[in-house]
Amino acid sequence: MNHTKLTKLSRLLQVSLGVSALALSLAVQAQQTGADPTTASIEKAGPLAVANVKVSSPSGYGSGTVYYPTTGSAYGLVSVTPGFTEGQSAINWLGPLLASHGFVVVTIGTKTILDVPTNRAKQMMAALAQVTALSATKTSPFAGKVDASRLAVMGHSMGGGGSLDAARDNPNLKASIPLAPWETTKDYSKTTVPTLIVSCESDAIAPVKDHANRFYDSFTPTLTKALLEMKGASHFCTNSSANTATKTLIGKYSISWLKRFVDGDTRYSPFLCGAPHQADLTGSLISTYKENCPY
């Protein structure tokens, strides 16, 4: 190949790389919306007004309520699932909170309150699929609100186990947040979805040594992960019945995790890494916090 051709190829490569870098930069900027986050801003409801609507004909799951920002479009979608014998009321506090920070959230009820984690995983994925499809219709109250490429799962107890299963089996998900998770399966070494486990130190139903800690320890060293353990808390520390201080803290970390990995907004990394959680540890709400930053 002569010098002239090499020069042309070099210039084309430089242009291509420049365009790719610009596209990547614009994609990141497009998801970094709103004012820069602060500790105060993620310890309360967000700036967006929120509406909700029940899913009239759930497909593949028992029931659903969709919470969505009334303005804007193309938000990440999060499915939140309750635990064994629980209904939506156990976890529906997360719907308006997360939606106010720029997510569409579907809280679901399972087909039966006795469904095991593997079934709950299938149902939360069915809810994500249906709400995404509904968003694509012009007649939906939340038409255009969902970005189908940015999906995440959360769940309590067996819903938390279902979140682990869903993340393991659906690598296209952007994030998973199991809450006090319970599951007989202990090996999640195949998981590639960024996962934050929230556990409760005095959990007698899903003891952390047999559940949350074992799940976390089974993750590969390269998985983007964190484990937040609430000090002296029971199995229901993540539910609607939890006290205000506990829900504020869990909300803060959940918002930050979803913003960082569903939206790709790196401005939230400092709230997951380094100094901020040390203040929470000394404030006695957290007994353990593990992560493998930087991310």
Edge-to-edge strand order for the sheet containing 146-156?
50-54, 63-69, 103-109, 75-81, 146-156, 175-179, 195-200, 225-230, 286-291
Active site residue 101: no
Phi, psi at 18, each rounded to 5° = -65, -40
Give the CA count within 13 Å in the CB-facing half-sphere of 49.
3
DSSP conformation class of 47: S
Q: What is the DSSP string of 94-108?
A: HHHHHHHTTEEEEEE
Active site residue 203: yes
Give the CA count within 13 Å in the CB-facing half-sphere of 92.
14
Phi, psi at 196, each rounded to 5° = -110, 115
Ordered alpha helix ranges (H), 35-93: none
Selecting among 235, 256, 265, 277, the annotated active-site residue is 235
**Are residues 107 and 96 in contact, defined by beta-carbon separation less than 8 angstroms?**
no
Selecting among 115, 147, 203, 263, the annotated active-site residue is 203
Active site residue 235: yes
Selecting among 157, 163, 176, 254, the annotated active-site residue is 157
Residue positions counted in the chain: 295
- Residue 110, C-beta contacts closer than 8 angstroms, at least 6 positions apart: 61, 62, 81, 82, 119, 120, 123, 159
- The pair of structure tokens assigned to 63 is 């029931």
Active-site residue list: 157, 203, 235
